[in-house]
Amino acid sequence: ISSVLARILFCPTLAYNVVMEKISSRDWYNRVDPTVILGALHFRSMTEELVQSEKVRGVITMNEEYETKYFCNSAEDWQAVGVDLLRLSTVDLTGIPSLEHIHKVYIHCKAGRSRSATIAALHCWSPEEACKMLASVWPHVLIRSAQLEILQEYFKQVWPGPLSSNTVVTPPFILPELLRGTRDQ
């Protein structure tokens, strides 16, 4: 039922995101760090800006196929401008993303609030620190409790021991395979 609801609400919520970007302080995308950009749906009209100005060479889309069919570049369109596309289809509103391998990335879903923010959080610090940091650069981020649980489970798998109050966790401890070779370019 959540998949059906997500499809029904797609156009109204996309329109809402476009309006909010125009009338509020929301940006369509923001840098998380020098190699990661977190944002909303990448419209075709943004291609030149993302490739030329932002130097994006990979896009991870958390969207299902129907969400990008009419407004966004296809994998072939991205390939034509030297950008790899990875689709990690995740149901909007309730979905919990999974991880895959890619190079420099633009991580997005429809609004850049939950699905893509969860993936961007995996790149950062402890789950709680990551959520705070993402909210500081992308104020309307919404990491739901189920997504936070996934972040915490993943963190436990990759962090080699307990954290104390004086433990300093620095990126990119969680996703070295995601950013392999991009930090020194």
Instruction: Tell me the catalytic residues.
Output: 109
Packing angle, helices 115-123 and 145-158, rounded to 10: 20
142 within 8 A of 63, measured Cβ to Cβ: no
List all residues 6 or more positions away from 135 whose beta carbon is below 8 Å from its beta carbon. 141
DSSP 160: -
Name the phi and psi angles at 55, rounded to 5.
60, 35
102 within 8 A of 178, measured Cβ to Cβ: yes
